[in-house]
A and B are shown apart, each in its own frame.
Chain A
């Protein structure tokens, strides 16, 4: 992997770099405009009456391209770096002028329905063709120079400049999340009024936020190391107390969360939570054991349908409560995991992916079939699934179901963590790395593979059971192949084999699109772009699996604990 990285960023000392990357930038900005993203995103403002999300998207693309062009140029030639990023910036924005002019003479709308006068007006910043073009060129030049100088600055200053800007951008994008959350709390509502307007951040709010983040990050970069050092020098027991209290605060926050966020955001959280459950299950199969399973949705469906059949009065076979149906649903998931596992034991890589993909479809088509309709409900699905209850409390609202999912997630994270650093987890990972050698090291491939399939399927069935009780009904079309693909994507984006990575991936790929309604149309496009970008820029994922330090870490831990016991005995 490392040699690839070196290959990619061989710096070149000529203007060709600026022209080449600028051309890519030009294509990128025109593409973003023509597919309608700029127009769709311009409804939401980042800073009120100053910059909309659509314009921010174009700016970001331009900055990225210009920075990339600077990075590709030889570091020794500082002036050339600036020239190259300038060229890239101007080309990225100048192409938009060309688009507008072209759109003026030719009717582009017959092919690109988004190439409307509204879009052109947006691209020209509402200033008309002459003034607008001049402005665009100027902005292109500015972002080019900005990105070029950004690259030349040392990393510390770069961070201090990028962090406030990106946090303003993030606050603007997530305003629907932040504003109601802040204003729900008495003292914080003033802050929310100061930061936000009805649409976007206020100018004063944006400046305050940028300053606050900038000063905060500066403080951390100058003092942070000292604090971390002091943390390290604390005795083991004190460090443990700090970790545990941090953990307790986190749990407390998690318990409080649905009350802070309200109905809509709690609903988003429950969806993200269900995907985290699915992701953690598939993480065992794909991330640990390296078995690419593309039919993972099957176990989700089996969990949901088992719960539905056992609890729904609509079919009238059984009238179990959610809690008595849950273990049976999980068991059914585990059994079907083993049943799927047996025929595919000898398959590897692509073949396994195709076989499991087929299995996922078989389950969906089975529940859809008219033949099984009396038992599985056919296309109309099964309704009237009762909610989970404890005593007289009913998990009905999203805020309540959240707790159900949180409990499931905590359980699954705990099991995953325990398994990971054990004989079984190591056997899975050895199998992922080299199946033949793993077998020659005494690992029974049959039982180890089946255990991975069964564990993953069990987690997935748990997620399915909660899903069924959350929705109150199950339909075959809820269990299409896209769910499997989504779960694989979130694991890849988050980081293969990494538990925090699954959570980050679920929030990024499932949570964000729910929050940004504008994304809905471009969801698949963004997925694809995110996957390609991840593979090129950060193949290990957003939050890669940490290397567990066993040898020295544990020895030093033993030493310090021995020392501390000696201290106490003295």
Chain B
């Protein structure tokens, strides 16, 4: 069953068509990758799904809810969470607080309950702290919860961003280049981790990635974008042989070489 369906989604910036009549279906509990050259509209599509941009045309359905026109905070409550291409943590909050902010939508304390310190507020805070510790443990950051986010090493910041995204208890997780800037060992760890997210937590993963090894290694379906248009879709093995994909990535001449060889 498809958890996310995009129908003819179009996003323009002035004369530039960033996403052009994109149709996409993401199956529940799958790992789905979007690839494409720089400027192909991958991140723009993410921003349309999460409510940062409002597409001019088309429809995005998440579990039969329309997402077009909703605000980001409403969309995250429906169960879509994301990470960012250039890490965007809350730098001057601790790792623990970053995760606690992710839990925001699931906490109910109001102003007066907080000020008088009602028992339900205190109980909720204790549970939230426990939940945050559990998430830090899950991503392998236990013991680092009291560091300021900006003081964590790069790899840990990536993990923390995922922990924060997981805190909102998403059904669909959008990862924007999760292995950017990682060495082969870290990349392998991240791939295993992404698979764990799907296998253990049952989260559907939609992923933008540039490292072909990652894309081909873990995804079940790959969608290729070029100039905002979908040029190919299918399992990784087929995509690797698709002439249009090779053309988009390497230029027209290389297709002939590839077919000749």
Contact = CB atoms under 8 A, between A and B. Distances in A.
Interface of A: 414-415, 418-419, 421-424, 426-427, 429-430, 433-434, 436-445, 451, 547-555
A429 B90 contact: yes
Contact of B73 (A415, A418, A443): A443
Contacts of B71: 439, 444
B172 interface: no
B111 interface: yes
Interface in B106-129: 107, 109, 111, 114-115, 117, 121, 125, 128-129
B125 to A, nearest CB: 7
Given A423-B114, A433-B90, A551 B101 contact: no
Contact of B148 (A438, A444, A547): A547
B101 A550 contact: no
B261 to A, nearest CB: 46
B227 interface: no
A434 B109 CA distance: 22
Contacts of A444: 71, 73
Given A418-B115, A443-B73, A551-B133, A426 B100 contact: yes
A434 B150 CA distance: 13
Contacts of A549: 94, 146
B196 interface: no
Contacts of B215: none
A36 to B, nearest CB: 42
Contact of B92 (A422, A424, A433): A433
Contact of B146 (A427, A430, A443, A552): A552
Given A436-B72, A443-B101, A444-B71, 11 more contacts: A418-B114, A418-B115, A423-B125, A430-B104, A433-B90, A436-B88, A441-B105, A547-B148, A549-B94, A551-B143, A552-B145
Contact of A436 (B52, B117, B132): B52
A317 B132 CA distance: 55
A437 B146 contact: no
A445 B74 CA distance: 11
A436 B90 CA distance: 11
Nearest to B107: A423
A418 B118 CA distance: 11
Given A433-B92, A434-B88, A552-B146, A426 B101 contact: yes
Contacts of B132: 551
Contacts of A440: 50-52, 72-73, 76, 81-82
B172 to A, nearest CB: 13
Interface string B88-103: 1111111111001110
Given A439-B71, A442-B76, A430 B115 contact: no
Contacts of A439: 71-73
A442 B164 CA distance: 11
Nearest to B71: A439
Interface string B156-186: 0000000010001000000000000000000
Nearest to A496: B92
Contacts of A441: 73, 76, 101-102, 104-105, 164, 168
B22 interface: no
Contacts of A426: 93, 97, 100-101, 104
Given A419-B115, A433-B93, A442 B104 contact: yes
Contacts of A552: 143, 145-146
A415 B96 CA distance: 23
Give me the 4 closest cross-chain CB pairs, A-B, nearest first. Answer: A551-B145, A442-B105, A433-B90, A422-B114
